[in-house]
Structure 1
Amino acid sequence: MKTVNLSYPLTAGIIEENAGPQIAAIGQFDGVHQGHASVITSAVRLAQQKGIPSAVMTFHPHPKDVMKKGNYEGNLTPLHEKQELLAAMGVDLLYVVEFSESFSQLSPQAFVEGMLLTLGVQTAIVGFDFRFGHKGEGHAEMLRELGNGKMNVEIIPPFEQEGEKVSSSTIRKALQTGELEEANRLLGHPYRLRGEVIDGDKRGRTIGFPTANLRIEDKFVVPAKGVYAVRSLVQGKWMSGVMNLGVKPTFQEGVTAPSFEVHLLDFDREIYGEQLTVELISYIRPERKFPSIQELVAQIQADADTARRILDSSN
């Protein structure tokens, strides 16, 4: 998959290199959840039928982050994760449109004529609730009108599971309330975090459970505090593990910023400075304060055993 960074207005070089007949799915696609996948796979299928490239057009940074409006609390799927998921879905071309305050002023007509038609989008595929242009005044039917016979538009209906519309806001809420299995079900894949392994207080090593302390670099949605069964991509290999996300109340008070500590099962190598991708598979329990270090150690061992059973059974 080829990734192309765009800003408005498009430059002659960008147009010359990328313009041509193509089928484009357009949207923010934060989470690339099952509802988003229904839009994207429709574009991939149609492009394959017509023998032309499939494209996805998304916007970065997240519009809610730029405009400071709404309930934006971080990404479900940061850009690098989105790239990996889209590539795996068979997308040929990813357009990453720079979203800024000036871009937010763009009229729906200017967006269609100056970007979509200029790039040669033959068919645009969008979700039923797609909005675009200044103050979101553009909608899916308007997109069809502005195509003016030069661009077809397919509008994908809501994707539902068990009678419930799959949405990013529902997934965010599920993550933040500890309903990880529900969030993963709606996503269609395990929720992921990624960060650099940094020096910590090394307390885990002294009690027999060394941990990789992660500095989360992207603005992820932070799940509920607690203990999770996880899989971590370490040096190209997926490893089973248990993660504590929280403020370590047994050892410290008055801390509000959560830490992310992953204990990798059956692993004892140094990995400081490396990037870890962590898939959250199951929520084991909430974080709590223990009256003694001995009781904490016993619980960590129990959590590790629980994580091992969960992960072994899910393989």
Structure 2
Amino acid sequence: MKVINLSYPISNKIEFKQPVVLAMGFFDGVHLGHQAVIKQAKQIADKKGLPLAVLTYDHHPALVYKKLEGNAARYLSIWNRKVQLFDDLGVNIVYRVNYNYAFQAQKPQEFVDNYLVRMQSETVVAGFDHTYGAKKATMNDLPDYAKGRFHVVTVPADVLAGKKISSTRIRRNLENGHLKTVNELLGYQFETEGTVVHGLARGRTLGFPTANVEYSELQQLPSEGIYIVSMLVNDEWLPAMASIGRNVTFGNHNPITIEINILDFNQNIYGNRVKVRWLAKMRDEVKYTGEQALIEQLQKDEIQTREYFTKIGQA
């Protein structure tokens, strides 16, 4: 899969040498609704013998209009993860556009002429609620702007439990710790990637040594609490339990950390690049009156984690 970075205006040195079927959208999370768009574009591309291209953006378009804070400024899928998900769906080319003021200020017709036509789009596919151009034109308007130069396919909303699948819905469930719903809406298990770094080694003194995972600040995390997870270490998924929190038993002003206790594991993995799949939330973070109370709770968490993996039969 080829990734091509673009800015406005597109340089005359960049050549678009062959027609493509183009799926467009921001695709944060590449959830089931996004997958429906890309899969439909893939079917059309295969039928017509053309490459499948995706037009997406380097950051959230809302950054041009307003200051984003907290989880609103973070992503369900940071760039490397998004590219991997595109690749898994059979995308051949990714056009990554720098979404700046000049780009968003284009009139809808200018956007169509400068990008969709310039990219030799034979067919353009997007979700029913996709908008483009300074006046936020809709997919209903696109055939008029296309002027017969490409076909337009609009994909309807994908629903789960009677509600639209959306990044906003996934964010809300992630913040509430509803991992089962999050993973159902995504169509895969929510994942975090990072590097194992040194921590304060409190877990080891409690009998529950942990791998502290340093993560990207751009990545949205589940809510603070204790989770059942799988962790990819040296190409093997291992059963584990995780804490996202501030270690409140040991102070009130600690930073948020991700700490992973891998079951039946005793290897030095400092510096390892790892992935964490978030499977289920067990409980909220609790401030205990002493280490013994915390140890007893961690023992209960371990029992629950082992029972989970015994039930599903895998990590």
Fold shared per TM-score above 0.5:
yes
Is it true that 1:231 corresponds to 2:230 in the alignment?
yes
The alignment's C-alpha RMSD in Å is: 1.6
Provide the residue aligned with 1:60 in structure 2: 58
Which letter maps to 1:281?
A: L
The alpha carbon displacement at 1:218 in A equals 4.2
Provide the residue aligned with 2:99 in structure 1: 99
Provide the residue aligned with 2:170 in structure 1: 171
2: CA distance, partners of 1:85 / 1:120 = 24
Provide the residue aligned with 2:9 in structure 1: 9
Which letter maps to 1:176?
A: E
Which letter maps to 1:228?
A: Y
Provide the residue aligned with 2:125 in structure 1: 125
Provide the residue aligned with 1:308 in structure 2: 306
Deviates most, 62-71 or 184-193: 62-71
The alpha carbon displacement at 1:237 in A equals 1.7
1:193 alignment partner, SS class: strand
The alpha carbon displacement at 1:65 in A equals 3.3
The alpha carbon displacement at 1:227 in A equals 0.6
CA contact (8 A) 1:123 1:151 kept: yes
2: CA distance, partners of 1:122 / 1:6 = 20
Deviates most, 297-306 or 24-33: 297-306
Aligned equivalent of 1:258, options 252, 256, 259: 256
Is it true that 1:162 corresponds to 2:161 in the alignment?
yes
Which letter maps to 1:117?
A: V
Q: How does 1:289-308 map to 2 (within 5 A)?
A: 289-308=287-306
CA contact (8 A) 2:8 2:102 kept: no
1:95 alignment partner, SS class: strand
Runs of 5+ unmatched residues, structure 1: none
Provide the residue aligned with 1:270 in structure 2: 268
Is it true that 1:80 corresponds to 2:80 in the alignment?
yes
2: CA distance, partners of 1:220 / 1:313 = 30
TM-score by length of 1: 0.94
2: CA distance, partners of 1:281 / 1:102 = 41
2: CA distance, partners of 1:218 / 1:114 = 33
1:90 alignment partner, SS class: coil
Which letter maps to 2:79?
A: L
Tell me how many residue pairs correspond in the alignment.
Answer: 311
CA contact (8 A) 1:78 1:218 kept: no
1: CA distance, partners of 2:90 / 2:60 = 23
TM-score by length of 2: 0.94
1:250 alignment partner, SS class: helix
Provide the residue aligned with 2:108 in structure 1: 108
Give CA deviations for 1:214-267 in whole Å, capped at 9, x if unaligned. Answer: 221141223211111111111222111111001111111134x42111111222
Runs of 5+ unmatched residues, structure 2: none
Which letter maps to 1:78?
A: I
1: CA distance, partners of 2:147 / 2:126 = 17
Which letter maps to 1:33?
A: H
Deviates most, 266-275 or 66-75: 66-75
Deviates most, 55-64 or 5-14: 5-14
Provide the residue aligned with 1:198 in structure 2: 197
2: CA distance, partners of 1:133 / 1:312 = 52
Name segments (4+ residues, structure 1) moved above 4 Å. Answer: none
Deviates most, 23-32 or 213-222: 213-222
The alpha carbon displacement at 1:63 in A equals 1.4
Structure 2 CA distance for partners of 1:272 and 1:35, relative to 1, 3 Å: same
1: CA distance, partners of 2:302 / 2:17 = 53
CA contact (8 A) 2:193 2:276 kept: yes
1:268 alignment partner, SS class: coil
The alpha carbon displacement at 1:89 in A equals 1.1
Aligned equivalent of 1:32, options 30, 33, 41: 30
Give CA deviations for 1:57-91 in whole Å, capped at 9, x if unaligned. Answer: 11111112343357824101111111111111111
Percent identity of equivalent pairs: 35
Which letter maps to 1:268?
A: N
The alpha carbon displacement at 1:212 in A equals 1.2
Provide the residue aligned with 2:220 in structure 1: 221
CA contact (8 A) 2:21 2:123 kept: yes
